[in-house]
Structure 1
Amino acid sequence: MRAKQLRNLTDIRRFLARIVNEYDHGKCNAEKLRTISYALNILAGVIKDSGLEARVEALENKLQGQLEKQFQGQFKRKSNAA
């Protein structure tokens, strides 16, 4: 079996479906299915967490930019009023 690239949840779902089909056709045993399923579950969690982390970071950066613009506008208004 060649190395499988599991980069996202779709890849994991497809690979798991393939292994389940192999099990159904007697091409792999229950222990192999259980071991791979466990590892895929862990990998899916890592992918979800890393995606969430990237989304939170993007939101934080966007919020930081908005706050900087807001405060710059306030400082300009005060200096123009003086």
Structure 2
Amino acid sequence: MMWYDGSWGWSGWFFMTVVMVVFWALLIVGIVALTHYLTNTHRGRQSDPSSGEAAWGSRRAEDLLAERFARGEIDEDEYKRRLTLLREQR
């Protein structure tokens, strides 16, 4: 027969349960944080203002405006007015 001398009893079960819950919570939080970081790296990224480069969003707006002008949806005056407005809001 085996004797269970030195067993932790109920405190061992409680300790193992707490450690398991903390482990899974940290693992899930880490995965969520990593996913959030990897999927949001391109959003809201601002360039250095001293470099003269625009942020990703305003560059895309200028490209869309240029495409509309190229397709003939807006005339030259409208294009220049909107482009000036976009660049002022940077």
TM-score under structure 1 normalisation? 0.51
Name whichever structure is richer in helix by fraction.
1
Q: Percent sequence identity over matched residues?
A: 7
For 2:38, the equivalent position in structure 1 comes to 62
Q: Which has the larger radius of gyration?
A: 2
Unaligned residue ranges in structure 2 (runs of 5+) = 46-54, 67-82, 84-90
> In the alignment, residue 58 of structure 2 is paired with which amino acid?
F
**Structure 1: runs of 5 or more not aligned:** 1-23
What is the deviation of 1:76? 2.0
**Aligned residue pairs, count:** 56
Equivalents in 2 of 1:43, 1:35: separation in Å?
A: 12
Structure possessing the higher relative contact order (Cα contacts under 8 Å, 6 or more residues apart): 1
Return the TM-score normalized by structure 2. 0.47
Q: CA RMSD in A?
A: 2.8
